[in-house]
Amino acid sequence: MTTGEKIIQECRDLIELLPSQALLAARQKHPGLRGLAVFPVYAPPEVIHAAGLMPLGLFGAGGKLETTQADSRFQSFICSIAKSTLELFLCGDLSPENGFEGAVFSSICDVARNLSSVVSRNAPDFYIEYLHLPQNAATEAARDYTRREFHRFRANLAHAIGRPITDEAIAESIKLYNRLRELVSELYEHRRVRPGTIRTADLFAVVMAGTFMMPEDFIPMIEALLAELRTCVPVQRDSVNVVLEGAFCEAPPIDLIDSIESAGCQIMDDDLAIGWRLFSRDVPATGDPVANLADAYLTSSAYTSVRHNNGQPRTKGLLQRVHDSHADAVILASAKFCEPALLDYVLFRRTLDEHDIPHLKIEFEEKMWTFERLRNEIETFTESLLFD
Ligand code: SF4
């Protein structure tokens, strides 16, 4: 195995762990480390890291838990990430005993809002934060409001852990996450410019693993991976270049991405785990670092279905993504029962039709074990484009 293959395998193994196991793995390098779970799509990891905690991506349990307790507290028509996240609290995986200080949710949808309340009620001794992100980022008032909200988060977290979170520490964490985002976007750019040197399933595993590690441990890994990829010879194959859109919150099973690729799609861009690579520019580390993070959220964020985009329609963002990545088609892959994705599907479909961009809609959930039917569907779609 080459160094790059070992790194990818390590990342694939890491994302198979439950949050408590991932924190335990991080403790091998950082004894006594405690964590704060971050429900997608976005909360500032820099503030959490500056508090001396590991910001850990809370993407549900990925099919590794039976959601028996959570099922009794939720309706059946709820996305799987919400159910399995609650199960993680109810079964004690996310608990103070396992090293967690708490969790942060944000205002992405009604499900996340309710989930945060249900978790608070069922885990009363846990610090649960709900970040009220602005619904309209384009107004004058949004700047002050978002800054106040980010400052409130910092103050509440500091109170919960019983120690201050200093500007200096946040500035240092910003520098670290700027570097991390820079490397991840370099990986994305590498896939776009030299497709065939890294599969998206592997890229996805690497990005997801980054949410299960301390950034200072992740950065050298990604640097080593990039160094090897730069020397790789691309594997050429007949495929259709696609953008994968819709999985901005719940993460699809990695086998689903494998299936899309083996069915003849070359994924050129995607919105997987987008909250952890949200900003297109570095966040300034000077001045008021918390205000800088709030401003970056308002002015430098990628578009997602859960964020109103400075008055710019999200359909424009999707068209730009298709154009920039030289994609021929779009696969709209959303979590089952994900309302924001379903609402955007109507808009996206109409826009793609207007621009004669072929598209295919698929749905996923955590507990998907067979992908044969989906693979056949995608194969039919790609063949219709390749042999048209
Ligand atoms: S998957 Fe969709 S509906 Fe479920 S929590 Fe995420 S954004 Fe909300």
* Mean pLDDT across 114-121: 93
79 lines ligand 1 (CB under 6 A): yes
Band (pLDDT 50/70/90 cuts) for residue 294 is: very high
* 68 is a domain residue: yes
Torsion of CA 180, 40, 285, 149, to 10 degrees: 180
Q: What is the 3-state secondary structure (H, E, C) of the chain?
A: CCHHHHHHHHHHHHCCCCHHHHHHHHHCCCCCCEEEEECCCCCCHHHHHHCCEEEEECCCCCCCCCCHHHHCCCCCCCCHHHHHHHHHHHCCCCCHHHCEEEEEEECCCHHHHHHHHHHHHHCCCCEEEEECCCCCCCCHHHHHHHHHHHHHHHHHHHHHHCCCCCHHHHHHHHHHHHHHHHHHHHHHHHHHHCCCCCCHHHHHHHHHHHCCCCHHHHHHHHHHHHHHHCCCCCCCCCCEEEEEECCCCCCCCHHHHHHHHHCCEEEEEECCCHHHHCECCCCCCCCCHHHHHHHHHHHCECCECCECCCCCCHHHHHHHHHHHCCCCEEEEEEECCCHHHHHHHHHHHHHHHHCCCCEEEEEECCCCCCCHHHHHHHHHHHHHHHCC
Q: What residues contact residue 179 under an 8 Å CB cut-off, 6+ apart? A: 215, 219
Q: pLDDT tens for residues 82-98? A: 999 999 999 999 999 99
Task: Report whether pLDDT(231) > 80.
Answer: yes
Band (pLDDT 50/70/90 cuts) for residue 388 is: confident
Cβ pair 184, 277 in contact under 8 A? yes
111 lines ligand 1 (CB under 6 A): yes
Residue 306 CA: nearest ligand 1 atom is: 7
pTM of the model: 0.95
Total length of the chain:
388
Task: Report whether pLDDT(341) > 80.
Answer: yes
Q: Measured in angstroms, how far is the CA atom of residue 217 from the centroid of ligand 1?
A: 29
Confidence at residue 311, expressed as pLDDT on a 0 to 100 scale = 65
Confidence at residue 73, expressed as pLDDT on a 0 to 100 scale = 86
Confidence at residue 50, expressed as pLDDT on a 0 to 100 scale = 98
338 lines ligand 1 (CB under 6 A): yes
Confidence at residue 74, expressed as pLDDT on a 0 to 100 scale = 86
Torsion of CA 321, 323, 329, 330, to 10 degrees: 10
**What residue numbers bound the domain in which 32 lies?**
19-165
Confidence at residue 306, expressed as pLDDT on a 0 to 100 scale = 82
* 81 is a domain residue: yes
For ligand 1, atom 3, name the residue with the nearest CA. 338
119 lines ligand 1 (CB under 6 A): no
Task: Report whether pLDDT(309) > 70.
Answer: no
Confidence at residue 381, expressed as pLDDT on a 0 to 100 scale = 95
Cβ pair 203, 228 in contact under 8 A? no
* 175 is a domain residue: no
> How many domains does the chain divide into?
1
Band (pLDDT 50/70/90 cuts) for residue 133 is: very high
* Mean pLDDT across 2-16: 96
Confidence at residue 310, expressed as pLDDT on a 0 to 100 scale = 62
Residue 109 CA: nearest ligand 1 atom is: 8
* 265 is a domain residue: no
* Mean pLDDT across 9-19: 97
* 91 is a domain residue: yes
Work out the mean pLDDT of the chain and round it to a whole number. Answer: 94
* Mean pLDDT across 366-385: 91
* 192 is a domain residue: no
**Residue 84 sits in a domain of what CATH number?**
3.40.50.11890
Task: Report whether pLDDT(308) > 80.
Answer: no
Confidence at residue 78, expressed as pLDDT on a 0 to 100 scale = 93
Choose one of 108, 115, 116 to mutate for the ligand 1 pocket test, by most ligand atoms within 8 angstroms of C-beta: 108
* 382 is a domain residue: no
Band (pLDDT 50/70/90 cuts) for residue 369 is: confident
Beta bridge partners of 57: 38
